Amino acid sequence: MQNNVLGTVRVLEASRAAGIQKLVYAASSSCYGIASVPTDETHTIDPQYPYALSKYQGEQAVLHWHKLYKLPVNTIRIFNAYGTRTRTTGAYGAVFGVFLKQKLEGKPFTIVGDGSQSRDFIYVTDVARAFFLAAMTTKTGEVFNVGTGLPQTINTLVEYLVGEVIYMPQRHGEPLCTCANIDKITHQLGWAPQVTFESGVRSMINHISDWSEAPLWSPESIALATESWFQYLKKSQE
């Protein structure tokens, strides 16, 4: 909340004082919660955990500053972004960083659930291009989904990475599928994803040494790090 809400408000106030030409907020598709797919920008908002809530509240602040102060803003709701230098820290670190470190160390990949769950993985260069177009357009006060609309299973990911697998119990509060409806950004900004999932994963493998200093997650450390978090998510769904 300190970073994603109050930090965003400080950026908004600094932007207003500086008279910026455009601000593009990095919103999160996690605001949709357990959503029907493909998910468009009008879908019901239902954050399932504090990170999702904080990112949505930051987005609401951005749109409020646009409405009240006429600050020229757009926001993009990023689905499952990945690419070189993907973060690996924290209990909710990106799956790519976890898997690449495990591959480097010759350890099995830790898959939560049966691996059939799918995510709308979008490569970082496609995300960067969406930021650029959202900044350059004359449109303001707009919300755009950024994904591929082509979700990939976790099992498909480990097939590309190649290695042994350990399956862990499914966690409550996580969607079985994320899939962006990208009609709006395609029609209004002329944006479309250019990097296929296979080529994106290949690029990650080519840079695998970048994860040599990343933390190594094991089934035990993952269970410990997420125990209380998913305990509350389970209760909220009962």
Q: Taking the alpha carbons of 228, 232, 237, 238 in that order, is the dihedral positive or negative?
A: positive
DSSP state of 74: E
CA 200, chain centre distance (Å): 16
Token output for 24? 């593009």
b/e map 64-78, b = 16+ CB within 10 Å:
ebbeeeebbbbbbbb
DSSP state of 121: E
**β-strands 73-78, 23-28 pairing:** parallel
| Positions marked active-site | 51
CA 93, chain centre distance (Å): 10
Q: How far apart are CA 155 and CA 115, in angstroms?
A: 5
Q: How far apart are CA 238 and CA 172, in angstroms?
A: 10
Judge contact between 176 and 39, C-beta under 8 A: no
Residue type, 127: V
